[in-house]
Amino acid sequence: MSRSQWGSRLGFILAAAGSAIGLGAIWKFPYVAATNGGGAFLFIYLLICMTVGLALMLGEMALGRAANSNAVGSFRQLGGRAWPWVGFTGVLVCFLIYSFYSVVGGWTIAYIGKSLSGSILTSDAKVLGDTFNGFITDPVQPLIYHGLFAGLTLAVVLGGVQKGIENLSKFLMPALFVLMLVLIVRGLTLPGAMDGLLYFLTPDFGKVTGTMLVDAMGLAFFSLSLGMGVMITYGSYVGRDTPLLGSSLWVIALTVMTCFLAGLMVLPAVFAFGFDPSAGPGLTFITMPAVFAQMAGGQLFAVLFFCLLLVAALTSSVSLLEVVVSAVMDEFKLPRRRAALLVSAGVFLLGIPASLSLGIWREYTVFGKGVFDLLDYITSNLLMPLGEVLLAVFVGWRVWPVVQGELAPGGRNPLWLRAMRGFCRYLAPVLILGILVHNL
C-alpha cells in the first residue's frame, strides 16, 4: 500500500497550521501574555518560535519525508534500534493529550448550544462561574459532548489524508480567520477598547523572569505542535518537490499571527466592560460570555466565538488522532478504518475519568492531582520537554546529514541551515533542559 500524500502545498500548510493553531493559541495565549509582560511576552514568544521552533519544525518535517513513515517508524528507519521509543513516546503523548483535549473540545460544542439558547448571556460573572463549574462537574453532560467531539474528529480522520484532513483544513482555516477578524473589529470598536490594547501590547520587560521564559517556551512548543511526531507524520505525506523551509515559515507565521489576533480579539473587549483580564482559563468560558451579554448583537458574536474555538480545537485534535492512527496503521498493519476506530474508543474511555475528575471523582488524586490535571501535568511538564530534547539531539547530532539533504538538496549548506543545525545541537537542548529542571 503506497503512502497517502497531500493534494497540494497549500493543503499541507493549512493542515499543519490547523494542527498548530488550537486551544493553545486562542484560549491560552491571550491571558498568559496579558499577565506576563504583554508585548515583552509576545516578543519572546516570537523569538522562540523563529529560532528553536523553526529548527524543530523543519527537523520533524524532514525526518518524516526522508523516512516516509510514521513517528515511530521514522526514528527506527533513520536512527536504528535505540531510537523508536522516542517516536513511541510522542505517539503516546498525542494519545494522552487528545483524551483531555477532546473533553475541552466538547465544552466548546456545549457552549455553542448555550449561546444559541441564550442561557449564558448574562453579565453576572457569578452566575456564569456557577454555570461553567456546574457544567464541567456534571457527571453526564460533558461526556456526551466529549463523545461528540471525538466522533467529529474520528469522522475527519476516517476520510483520510486528502479527503478528510486536507479538505477540512482548506475549508475551516479560512473560516477561522474570517471569524477572528469579525470579532476583532467588534471588540476594537467598543468604547474603552484602547486600554485593553495597550495592556496587551505595552512591553513590560521587568516581568521577564525565569518562570516567564519557561512559560513562553512551553507555550511555543505546544502551540506549534512540536516534539510529538505531528510534523513527522504530516511531513511524511509531503511530496519531494515541496520546499520545507517556506512551508514551515508559513505555518509559524500563521500561528504567531493567530496568537496576536487572539489577544486583539479578547483583551480589548474584556477591558471595555471592565472585567479582569487575568481571570486565567476562565477568561474564555466565564468572562467572554459576560462581555457578549453587554454587547449589541452579543448573542451572534457569542455563537461565532465558540464556533471559532471549536474549529481551532478540531483541526488540532485531528492531528493528534492522525499521529496515533498513522503509527498504529503501519506498526500493526491495520487498515485506517480499524486503527481510527480502535484509537478513538481508547481516547473516549480515557477522557471519561479525565472529565469526571473535575466533578464527582474529585477525591481520587495522585500527587494531589485528579486525572485531568495529572494528564495535563505529565504531558506538558515532563513528557513534552523530554520528547523535544531527544528530537533536537536526534536531528542535530544523530541524523543531521539526512535532514540537511532534505532541506537543501545537492550538498548545499547555506547560512540559515547552519543556524538551524546550531539551534538543534546546542540552543534547543540547553533551553529545553532548562524547562525540565525548572518543572522538576
Return residues touching ligand TRP (CB under 6 A): 19-20, 22-25, 94, 97, 222-223, 225, 228, 230, 316, 319-320
Identify which of residues 6 and 271 has a Cβ nearer to ligand TRP in the complex: 6
Identify which of residues 109 and 290 has a Cβ nearer to ligand TRP in the complex: 109
Cα separation, 168 vs 184, in Å, equals 24
In contact, 184 and 264? CB cutoff 8 Å: yes
Identify which of residues 53 and 370 has a Cβ nearer to ligand TRP in the complex: 53
Q: Quote the least distance from Cβ 60 to ligand TRP, whole Å.
A: 10
Contact residues for 345 (Cβ-Cβ < 8 A; gap 6+)? none
Cα separation, 418 vs 403, in Å, equals 12
Contact residues for 279 (Cβ-Cβ < 8 A; gap 6+)? 31, 286, 287
Q: Quote the least distance from Cβ 219 to ligand TRP, whole Å.
A: 8
Identify which of residues 15 and 358 has a Cβ nearer to ligand TRP in the complex: 15
Identify which of residues 138 and 373 has a Cβ nearer to ligand TRP in the complex: 373
- DSSP three-state, residue 366: strand
Q: Quote the least distance from Cβ 15 to ligand TRP, whole Å.
A: 12
Q: Quote the least distance from Cβ 80 to ligand TRP, whole Å.
A: 25
Cα separation, 324 vs 197, in Å, equals 40
Identify which of residues 12 and 271 has a Cβ nearer to ligand TRP in the complex: 12
Identify which of residues 225 and 404 has a Cβ nearer to ligand TRP in the complex: 225
Contact residues for 228 (Cβ-Cβ < 8 A; gap 6+)? 71, 90, 91, 93, 94, 97, 323, 384, 387
Instruction: Give first-to-last CA distance, the chain, whole Å.
Output: 44
Q: Quote the least distance from Cβ 232 to ligand TRP, whole Å.
A: 11
Q: Quote the least distance from Cβ 27 to ligand TRP, whole Å.
A: 8
Cα separation, 168 vs 290, in Å, equals 31
DSSP of 153-189: HHHHHHT-IIIIIIHHHHHHHHHHHHHHHHHHHHHHT
Nine-digit cell string for 338: 480499524
CA 134 from centroid of its chain's CA atoms: 26
Identify which of residues 272 and 313 has a Cβ nearer to ligand TRP in the complex: 313
Q: Quote the least distance from Cβ 311 to ligand TRP, whole Å.
A: 12
Distances (CA, A) of 151 to 105, 106, 114, 155: 11, 10, 20, 6
Q: Quote the least distance from Cβ 230 to ligand TRP, whole Å.
A: 5
Instruction: Please classify residue 437 by burial: count the beta carbons closer than 10 Å to its beta carbon, then call 0-12 exposed, 13-18 middle and 19+ buried.
Output: exposed
